[in-house]
Amino acid sequence: IYMGATKLQTNIFIILTFYIISFLIGLPANLVALYAFSIKIHHSPLPTDILLLNLTVSDLLFLIILPLKMHEAASGMQWNLPNIMCSITSFTFFSTIHTSSLLLMAIDVVRYIGAAFPVIYQHLKKPVYPIIISAVIWGISMGHCSITFIIQHHPSLSSSDSSMCYENFTEKQLEVLLPVRLEFFFLFCFVPLLITAYCYLRLILILYSRPRISWMQKRKAIGMALGTLAVFLICVGPFNFSFLLGYFQQQSPVWRYYTLLLSTLNTCIDPIIFYFSSSVFHFTSKKSIFRKHWCKWRKGTNLGKIFGPAQCNSYRITM
């Protein structure tokens, strides 16, 4: 990314701001989610819990590699680390982004099946099914993102210019990369977005057609739908759209890197989806891990003697 010194400093400041905000908010939020889902899946895991655990792991892998991208930005967008670290960073960075979009789609499909086809859903509640789905999703995203190693290390494609990490592609590299990116657009953005929109529209219609379902459950469904669509439209969409436009322009758009910054915000939005999708995060829920530990702490302190244990004992804390 070549530009004047003042503009470069401004852009580096923007890039670092996005990275730091995502890291400071995303890391603690996803660590809490990892703790909650790790406990949940050892007791009575639902398919969505296993898929959400994988989504949390994906976000954490992204956040673990993010300091290396911060170092790159702080170095003026120059890669001063070994070339193999560039490949590993790019591979992890992009594969976790695309894994997240497929996992969100899978969560939406499972929730829709649970509401529209409850009998089928009961047969699919075995942990083996979401585990297989998660493994397939990881395999698809990691297999596709291995292109980062091919582009940078294949003898006929590798470039001698290693001052920038996975940028400034040669014509030979673009001949291979642009068609792959076009496939990325459809596989990791367009198709998941269509499936997600359909599933949530149908899910909300189903919920509102059943008067016995509480407003709280309907609110959760709407919140989950809005959060997921926000991820696709704000975080996933612009970055993948650069693939589509780049294919027709036969170049890698210069502004692609800035759409990638929006993808980093995914790690901040995902915890919102966790809140609406699982009762394990609701303090007033019987399944809430946080309520369970609050009750344990309260009983072990003077608060339990002052206020009495009735509020905690009125619920059976199940996992």
State the sign of the Cα–Cα–Cα–Cα dihedral 15, 16, 21, 22.
Answer: positive
For residue 122, what is the domain's CATH number? 1.20.1070.10
Same domain, yes or no: 187 and 296:
no
One domain for residues 256 and 312: no
Which pLDDT band holds residue 53 (cuts at 50, 70, 90)?
A: very high
Tokens standing for residue 256: 């692609």
Q: Are residues 239 and 262 in the same domain?
A: yes
As a whole-number percent, the residues of the chain with pLDDT over 90 amount to 40
Q: Are residues 286 and 244 in the same domain?
A: no
Instruction: Please indicate, yes or no, whether residues 204 and 303 belong to a single structural domain of this protein.
Output: no
Total domains present in the chain: 2
Q: What is the pLDDT of residues 171-204, one digit of tens each?
A: 888 999 999 999 999 999 999 999 999 998 898 8
The sign of the CA dihedral 233, 238, 243, 248 is positive
Any idea which residue has 């030979």 for tokens?
Answer: 172
Sign of CA dihedral 9, 13, 19, 23: positive
Determine whether 142 is exposed, middle or buried from the number of CB atoms within 10 Å of its CB (0-12, 13-18, 19+).
Answer: middle
Answer yes or no: do 301 and 240 share one domain. no
The model's pTM is 0.83
Is the pLDDT assigned to residue 28 strictly greater than 70?
yes
Q: What is the pLDDT of residues 117-135, one digit of tens each?
A: 989 898 888 899 999 999 9
Query: In 3-state terms, what secondary structure has residue 32?
Result: helix
- The reply to whether 264 and 288 lie within a common domain is no
Please check whether residues 161 and 301 belong to one and the same domain.
no
The answer to whether residues 174 and 259 belong to one domain is yes
User: Could you report the per-residue pLDDT of 213-269, keeping only the tens digit for each?
Assistant: 777 777 777 777 887 888 888 889 999 999 999 999 998 888 888 888 998 988 888
Q: Which of 230, 210, 207 minimizes the C-alpha distance to 218?
A: 207
301/181 same-domain check:
no
Q: Domain range for residue 10?
A: 5-281
Average pLDDT, integer, range 18-38: 91
Averaged confidence pLDDT in the chain: 82
Task: Express the helix, strand and coil content of the chain in percent, nearest 5 each.
Answer: 75, 0, 25
Residues 37 and 80 in one domain: yes
Whether residues 240 and 304 fall in one domain: no
